[in-house]
Amino acid sequence: MAKFYAALLDPDGVLAPKTVELGRREIRRASDLRYGAGFELQTGDGRMGDEPDAFGHAGAGGSRHGAWPGRGTTFSYLMTEVRNAPDARPVNLLRALSRGSRATGR
């Protein structure tokens, strides 16, 4: 999944940048979630990490897959143990990734 999102960030990847941007345009808001035509969008709760331009999708049990275009970073987290919500593991991992990518300049 991380490679899929990396291909979306690549201007010569699987989709034209204009198409990816269309998929990231908000078309629906439901409670504390925002959706584009193809992706879940960043919300105030940091569901996709700390980056304001984050997009991707959350899955059952806490999985998270997505990208931070401004950083050129993609991520995918799939666990082997499903826990009842709320599960802090994906948010904690994305925070650690954000700190680590800031420290390395990526």
Q: What is the pLDDT of residue 50?
A: 86
pLDDT over 70, % of the chain: 93
How is the beta sheet containing 55-58 ordered, strand by strand?
26-30, 33-36, 40-41, 55-58, 64-68, 73-77
- Tell me the C-alpha distance between 57 and 1, whole Å: 10
Q: Name the 3-class secondary structure at 40.
A: strand
Q: What is the pLDDT of residue 88?
A: 82
User: pLDDT of 68-101, one tens digit each?
Assistant: 999 999 999 988 887 776 778 888 899 899 888 6
Q: Taking the domains of the chain in order of start, what are their residue ranges?
A: 2-104
Separation in Å, CA 61 to CA 6, 56, 68, 89? 23, 16, 22, 10
pTM: 0.85
Query: Which amino acid type is present at position 16?
Result: A
Q: What is the pLDDT of residue 53?
A: 93
Q: Name the 3-class secondary structure at 69.
A: coil
